[in-house]
Amino acid sequence: IKAVLGPIMRLMFRTRVEGVENIPGDGPVILAGNHLTFIDSVIMPLTCDRQVFFIGKDEYVTGKGLKGRLMAWF
């Protein structure tokens, strides 16, 4: 998914990643987005070379409508 969606997302959205050189190659790390929109949750894993896991309120992934379905799938 990342190989297909990554280039598409880079064309659709102008992203700016700061401090990527500070992300260690292994071990624990916390990535914090400013959450201007829910799309942060899609873009962050695509711009990071590591596997990304999310924590958050249950309502975030069980929401109604298209946003809820997309977040539950992702």
Domain boundaries, the chain: 2-73
Mean pLDDT, residues 20-45 taken together: 79
Cβ distance 55 to 30 under 8 Å?
no
- Per-residue confidence band for 73, with pLDDT thresholds at 50, 70 and 90: low
Q: Taking 70 as the threshold, does the pLDDT of residue 6 lie above it?
A: yes
What is the pTM (predicted TM-score) of this model?
Answer: 0.51
Distances (CA, A) of 36 to 1, 24, 33, 50, 69: 24, 25, 8, 22, 19
